[in-house]
Structure 1
């Protein structure tokens, strides 16, 4: 894992440094005065997503070239035997990898244009659905023991669009969206590593998530609850959400050795519970207030915690801890039977319900 993690981390780190100092020459800035729902003051570069994007894509360019060279010279001893044995399998997945990265890049460009030109929500949503449909048409979809192709296709499209927007909506305080994505990536990678399935690319997805993790860590050096030099922008947030959505669709969660545990289908829902909770509650609040679900405001999870008296930094750290709590429950699903799994899912739901009750009282005091 270090082979892919280190290059991704330093690639994202160096590019983020470049973007931080160079993007102010390009009119892609987040101006707090232009939008009332912003929580920062003044202007800030929004090109940090370029660091995340290039950290992922650049690392896979290097990895792809390396794999092709190793395949070209099979007699060489460039890699240890226990690594070289996986080369044929990795080469067979390159087509899928670059297809997903290409579609993710479309969303990155979409978000970057939105940062610059403030695109209509209809245009953004249309492109997101087109990309999601393209992913599903290539065979990446939820199965969940449902033998209704049209239904699984529709659920998969909605899953991709929902997560793509969830991480963008979560990007409302310093280090929040990227930090939550780091936690989710870590736990998803652990699940992929601990639950290998001979019929599914579990180790491949694990490595994919480690690359994303490295890029996110490189970005967090420049955008975290303690110091902020630039924002990721919509492009970076869309790219993160899309990659995590595709990783969960590609993975197999029910295989655990020779056993099949249907309750483990809840693993991605628990790991990604916080971004989905934020999006769901924000949309419900906007509908209740008679506003468009795509209008900006300060009704997000983090804003509601601030209304309860937390500082913005403590609100972000609280959401980190909530995310980790939900993710730990996901790991436990592999250790229990269906009754225990039901209790874990119920406990996670009750945890979020307690938070919702506390938040509902914020404007009464």
Structure 2
């Protein structure tokens, strides 16, 4: 059960084991889909999913340190990058890079997957957000794998999407039916999304011919698909490090917290706005990626991140000032109240 605290946006104790169902559904699906694998990918997914399920479940019941979870993620990721189906041989001219040495691939792929897992885990802060963003991402990947005839990954995307759509109803509920996916769910979903991203980058050149964008823009399309979790993680980590705090320390500086705290909108509206932004951003990048070389797309991406970062910094700064003023006023009121009590006792 998740008990409300100073950082919580809920007011009642809420079960956090919604992600348990994700694990069992995926394992059940992998059992039936294993014959669709060209390189026995299902056999490599199962141990990784199991490791993160056990660690996530324990973290939901007894809080684990970030470093314990990181070790588990490294172990889970190792199973995936060791399968040749996920090997990225080339970036196809992205920023002038073609062939990738195997050692570089292992380092980049491992770092990328762990980043995605943690980025998705961090956006699970308000009702519906992780589900809606996950649904958007999985729909896009399902479409990509349908167009490239990678049916195993298409079915994995659809299976997990079904889990998130079913879960969303209960996550948004304001009754006793409400449930959170917990770390069990967010780690599993983030892990699967990282696998789909790696597979997208590892497709053979002829597969990309059926996609509506230039092959050299593939890495930028992948970034645009994951723009919400990646941007939010980069932003909060920068703020925490600049404040001389651990990047894994908890706070209410996330993009979704600013939307509900500063603009006073509901969790549902904030989640829909962020999910809608993710979908529109990907659509625009696909359009641009079909005609523009990656230099211009990189320029657009950098400008977008800088502008969004500045805007949310200003909102966060303004909101932080308001909170500081409120806390200062409360202290003054407390001092005045104590002074009155002391004067009253002296007069007696």
TM-score past 0.5 threshold:
yes
State whether structure 2 residue 288 is matched by structure 1 residue 316.
no
> What SS does structure 1 have at the residue aligned with 2:14?
strand
Judge conservation of contact 1:188–1:209 (CA < 8 Å) in 2.
yes
Q: 1:105 to 1:326 in 2, by over 3 A?
A: farther
Quote the offset at 1:58 in angstroms. Answer: 2.3
> What SS does structure 2 have at the residue aligned with 1:230?
coil
State whether structure 2 residue 170 is matched by structure 1 residue 218.
no
State whether structure 2 residue 173 is matched by structure 1 residue 173.
no
Judge conservation of contact 1:302–1:312 (CA < 8 Å) in 2.
no
Unpaired runs of 5+ residues, structure 1, are 1-28, 68-89, 197-201
Of 217, 230, 242, which residue of structure 1 is paired with 2:179?
A: 230
Judge conservation of contact 1:51–1:219 (CA < 8 Å) in 2.
no
For residues 194 and 236 of structure 1, the distance between their equivalents in structure 2, rounded to whole angstroms, comes to 28
Query: Please, what is the CA RMSD of the aligned residues?
Result: 2.4
Which shows bigger deviation, 103-112 or 166-175?
103-112
State whether structure 2 residue 252 is matched by structure 1 residue 298.
yes
Larger Rg: 2
Judge conservation of contact 2:44–2:83 (CA < 8 Å) in 1.
no
Judge conservation of contact 1:175–1:225 (CA < 8 Å) in 2.
no
Quote the offset at 1:334 in angstroms. Answer: 5.7
Quote the residue 1:61 is aligned against. Answer: 31
Quote the residue 2:342 is aligned against. Answer: none
Quote the offset at 1:243 in angstroms. Answer: 0.6
Quote the residue 2:107 is aligned against. Answer: 154
Judge conservation of contact 2:225–2:278 (CA < 8 Å) in 1.
yes
State whether structure 2 residue 284 is matched by structure 1 residue 329.
yes
Quote the residue 2:343 is aligned against. Answer: none
Of 154, 172, 186, which residue of structure 1 is paired with 2:139?
A: 186
Quote the residue 1:22 is aligned against. Answer: none
For residues 272 and 37 of structure 2, the distance between their equivalents in structure 1, rounded to whole angstroms, comes to 40
Q: 1:355 to 1:279 in 2, by over 3 A?
A: same
For residues 110 and 11 of structure 2, the distance between their equivalents in structure 1, rounded to whole angstroms, comes to 36
Judge conservation of contact 2:142–2:157 (CA < 8 Å) in 1.
yes
Quote the offset at 1:62 in angstroms. Answer: 4.3
> What SS does structure 1 have at the residue aligned with 2:2?
strand
Quote the offset at 1:291 in angstroms. Answer: 0.8
> Could you report, residue by residue, the CA deviation over 1:78-104 in whole angstroms, capped at 9, with x for unpaired residues?
xxxxxxxxxxxx1544x3113213212
